[in-house]
Structure 1
């Protein structure tokens, strides 16, 4: 009887089945909670990304207030080999208005970005406003086009070059050519320069093939040209200025418009770029893919794999760089599409400084119209 009475006080533990049920319930709760946590984190990252883009938009307006024009898309440099190299691009002009004057004053940053990257550690500097927290390639990332497999820039003390990331791209519009207003006579013109206001030196003459890029194809940022508010006839609230340009392993590159194969020469090249880089790839680096600080709407938002930015020189550097035809009209060049790590779309800075999210399923006609400064389209995103 004593033994029976004592048995009433024995404590009963969990059975194996009960323990498994508890673990399963906890697993379900964690599974339900995790997407909410991830969504909250992405919302915070997206807000920071939007704030960075708003700062870029404000900087553009400040620059326009000072110079009565937006910065030139790029500053070309004529070379003896018949090539117009990109010596700097729009972001370099904006640095003093982003509290980065010292960076702009680094030797060669404003005059020859390639020399600046090869001879200093300027490319390693991270410019906070050019980094989107959602992007997986940053705040520094390798760029194969200018690395050991490409054009052999080596960062001092680093070996494989690392660049401060650039997760945004200046809008070139629909036109994906790399045309610049020049010809052979420009190189021979006495005192040939492209001044800060975009004027050519004395004696230079227009050298476009197939006419200048029409306003219905032209974005706010093009080679050797400044855009003013007055030229944005479609309305500043309807016109892209800057869009997202994510990179990393999630965004491999492919060669040429309508390309679909993310493997090139047996490897993948991520769509990485740095804030310093304005130069696209060309036939001097045929085995490496790259992109730069520009994007266009020839192809859809978030196209995967990403089209590379490439000058197909066609054996004649001088004439090909005067060819204004887009790839849709027979041109040989390509410019990378906009892409974003944010789900289902990407953010754009408009010419009025506003930042808005654009769905990746947006109508292509409306999407392309929103990237040009003229053309008479009145419907905006």
Structure 2
């Protein structure tokens, strides 16, 4: 009996030690963190008086590709992590898209680094830059929103390290990470859950006028709570601060919110999949104050499907069927071109690249 007792005590102590180590391995963030942007070579400022600025936003789904239905995609999804051959193939495709588009600024969401077990501890940004070769971006800023040495979820059971990355062909003068409101979970789940954020980066211009690029990934599964409205509210406060300083900005990313389109997408998706989004989308507050890609006009016109940005990893869905990724922009900009790259990206990620070409109004 004593041996059984001591054995159980040793097992219990080991479990407590593992939980304790996992708990302290989580990186926890204050409301604002100064980020040090880096440039691997000297580059000239953006010639803002003479050249448009091309911005591309893309949730790359940690380079997993479209061969999986993950456990969080649908109930009973069988997959937990991608194979290395799939992430390598997807890195090749993302690099080709960036070479083809040649944007000045790239906002990436869901990119993993060398501390994430799910993608084989590969530094995906370094691998992408290597593939870009002469097209590699000299300047970058990064902000993690899921970082822990051990997540004890049975479908994860390992280290995670996921971040927002903004790449620029022009010098970055400063950057900071802004914490978004957190989902209301129990204390244990809250500790190991995503800490969604906004990565704010400023680029230098010839005129000395700074330009702010804001990159984000809002929470998913926030329907029925005030979370999405609170995350939009935090974003609006930051954008208002930039407006008051007369700083032009572009705000892009995966917002996990249906668009301001008269509830057309909400009605269709609710009919087919149930109420997985709020009927009154919190993103409407951004549409009411600022311009967007895609605009409400794009989404209400004939051919609205070409503005869909999300192709769920769901066997019931055979094509992109909703818009949840956007580029919002301040009133100092003139928009020259806007589009969603759909024609050759449907097998790359469950999201599609959103692209805008802007110039500052003189």
TM-score normalised by structure 2 residue count: 0.28
**Structure with larger Rg:** 1
Structure with the larger strand share: 2
Q: TM-score, normalised by structure 1?
A: 0.27
